[in-house]
Protein backbone atom coordinates (compact mmCIF):
# COMPACT_ATOMS: atom_id res chain seq x y z
CA UNK A 1 0.00 0.00 0.00
CA UNK A 2 1.21 3.50 -0.81
CA UNK A 3 1.81 5.92 2.06
CA UNK A 4 1.88 9.57 2.96
CA UNK A 5 4.12 9.96 6.01
CA UNK A 6 4.41 12.78 8.52
CA UNK A 7 7.40 12.21 10.79
CA UNK A 8 7.95 13.49 14.32
CA UNK A 9 5.41 16.30 14.16
CA UNK A 10 5.92 18.31 17.35
CA UNK A 11 3.09 19.54 19.58
CA UNK A 12 2.76 20.86 23.12
CA UNK A 13 0.06 19.08 25.10
CA UNK A 14 -1.17 18.38 28.62
CA UNK A 15 -1.65 14.62 28.57
CA UNK A 16 -0.79 12.31 31.41
CA UNK A 17 -1.97 10.54 34.51
CA UNK A 18 -0.35 12.96 36.95
CA UNK A 19 -1.85 16.40 37.74
CA UNK A 20 1.52 18.08 37.11
CA UNK A 21 1.49 16.80 33.51
CA UNK A 22 -1.99 18.23 32.98
CA UNK A 23 -0.92 21.57 34.47
CA UNK A 24 2.61 22.04 33.08
CA UNK A 25 2.35 20.16 29.79
CA UNK A 26 5.19 18.86 27.64
CA UNK A 27 6.23 18.11 24.08
CA UNK A 28 4.68 15.23 22.19
CA UNK A 29 5.80 13.89 18.84
CA UNK A 30 3.35 12.29 16.44
CA UNK A 31 4.25 10.10 13.47
CA UNK A 32 1.47 9.45 10.96
CA UNK A 33 1.31 7.01 8.06
CA UNK A 34 -1.70 7.35 5.78
CA UNK A 35 -2.00 4.17 3.74
CA UNK A 36 -3.95 4.76 0.55
CA UNK A 37 -3.60 4.45 -3.21
CA UNK A 38 -1.43 7.23 -4.61
CA UNK A 39 -1.44 6.17 -8.25
CA UNK A 40 -4.19 8.64 -9.26
CA UNK A 41 -2.50 11.74 -7.76
CA UNK A 42 0.82 10.44 -9.07
CA UNK A 43 -0.55 10.47 -12.62
CA UNK A 44 -2.72 13.59 -12.39
CA UNK A 45 -0.38 15.79 -10.30
CA UNK A 46 -3.53 17.34 -8.77
CA UNK A 47 -3.88 18.02 -5.04
CA UNK A 48 -7.59 17.22 -5.28
CA UNK A 49 -6.67 13.58 -5.94
CA UNK A 50 -4.57 13.23 -2.79
CA UNK A 51 -4.63 14.14 0.90
CA UNK A 52 -2.96 17.38 1.92
CA UNK A 53 -0.46 16.81 4.71
CA UNK A 54 -0.99 20.45 5.72
CA UNK A 55 -4.69 19.67 6.27
CA UNK A 56 -3.76 16.50 8.16
CA UNK A 57 -1.58 18.59 10.46
CA UNK A 58 -4.44 21.06 11.02
CA UNK A 59 -6.77 18.17 11.88
CA UNK A 60 -4.33 16.61 14.36
CA UNK A 61 -3.18 19.81 16.07
CA UNK A 62 -6.36 20.59 18.08
CA UNK A 63 -6.56 16.95 19.19
CA UNK A 64 -3.02 16.91 20.59
CA UNK A 65 -3.05 20.47 21.90
CA UNK A 66 -6.63 20.35 23.17
CA UNK A 67 -8.43 18.34 25.83
CA UNK A 68 -5.99 16.32 27.95
CA UNK A 69 -6.00 12.54 27.78
CA UNK A 70 -4.64 10.46 30.63
CA UNK A 71 -3.11 7.91 28.27
CA UNK A 72 -1.21 8.46 25.05
CA UNK A 73 -3.02 5.33 23.86
CA UNK A 74 -6.29 7.30 23.99
CA UNK A 75 -4.66 10.25 22.23
CA UNK A 76 -3.44 7.98 19.41
CA UNK A 77 -6.90 6.44 19.11
CA UNK A 78 -8.54 9.88 18.83
CA UNK A 79 -6.13 10.88 16.06
CA UNK A 80 -6.67 7.65 14.10
CA UNK A 81 -10.43 7.92 14.44
CA UNK A 82 -10.50 11.53 13.24
CA UNK A 83 -8.35 10.78 10.20
CA UNK A 84 -10.38 7.75 9.11
CA UNK A 85 -13.62 9.65 9.63
CA UNK A 86 -12.50 12.76 7.75
CA UNK A 87 -10.70 11.14 4.79
CA UNK A 88 -12.60 8.28 3.19
CA UNK A 89 -9.77 7.66 0.69
CA UNK A 90 -7.48 6.47 3.52
CA UNK A 91 -7.59 2.68 3.94
CA UNK A 92 -5.41 2.44 7.03
CA UNK A 93 -3.52 4.71 9.42
CA UNK A 94 -0.57 4.14 11.68
CA UNK A 95 -0.20 6.59 14.54
CA UNK A 96 2.80 6.74 16.88
CA UNK A 97 2.67 9.16 19.82
CA UNK A 98 5.89 9.76 21.71
CA UNK A 99 6.03 11.39 25.13
CA UNK A 100 9.50 12.88 25.15
CA UNK A 101 9.84 13.27 28.91
CA UNK A 102 7.92 10.61 30.83
CA UNK A 103 7.44 11.47 34.52
CA UNK A 104 9.64 8.77 36.01
CA UNK A 105 13.35 8.22 36.46
CA UNK A 106 14.39 6.90 33.07
CA UNK A 107 17.07 7.92 30.61
CA UNK A 108 15.60 7.55 27.14
CA UNK A 109 14.44 9.61 24.20
CA UNK A 110 10.83 9.06 25.21
CA UNK A 111 8.14 6.46 25.49
CA UNK A 112 5.72 5.78 22.65
CA UNK A 113 2.62 3.92 21.63
CA UNK A 114 1.93 2.88 18.07
CA UNK A 115 -1.45 1.82 16.75
CA UNK A 116 -2.71 0.79 13.33
CA UNK A 117 -6.35 1.19 12.43
CA UNK A 118 -8.06 0.32 9.16
CA UNK A 119 -11.29 1.24 7.53
CA UNK A 120 -12.49 -2.39 7.97
CA UNK A 121 -11.87 -2.15 11.71
CA UNK A 122 -13.41 1.31 11.98
CA UNK A 123 -16.18 -0.01 14.21
CA UNK A 124 -13.57 -0.35 16.99
CA UNK A 125 -12.76 3.34 16.90
Q: State pLDDT tens for residues 83-111.
A: 999 999 999 999 999 998 777 666 777 78
Catalytic positions are: 99
Q: State pLDDT tens for residues 60-77.
A: 999 999 999 999 999 999
**Opening angle at CA 63, ends 57 and 28, nearest 5:** 75
**Total count of domains within the chain:** 1
Average pLDDT of 53-59?
97
pLDDT at residue 100, rounded to an integer: 86
Q: What is the CATH number of the domain that holds 48?
A: 3.30.1130.10
Per-residue pLDDT band for 123 (boundaries 50, 70, 90) equals very low
Domain range enclosing 65: 3-124
Q: Give SS3 for 112.
A: strand
Q: Which residue has the higher pLDDT, 122 or 76?
A: 76
CA distance 99 to 18: 14
Does the predicted model carry a pTM greater than 0.85? yes
Give the DSSP H/E element, type plus range, for residue 32.
strand 26-35
The 10 Å Cβ neighbour count of residue 83 is 21
Average pLDDT of 45-58?
96
Amino acid sequence: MDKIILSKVEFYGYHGVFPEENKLGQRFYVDVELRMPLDKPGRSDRMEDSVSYAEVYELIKPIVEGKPFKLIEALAEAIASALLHHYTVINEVMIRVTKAHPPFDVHCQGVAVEITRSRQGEGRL
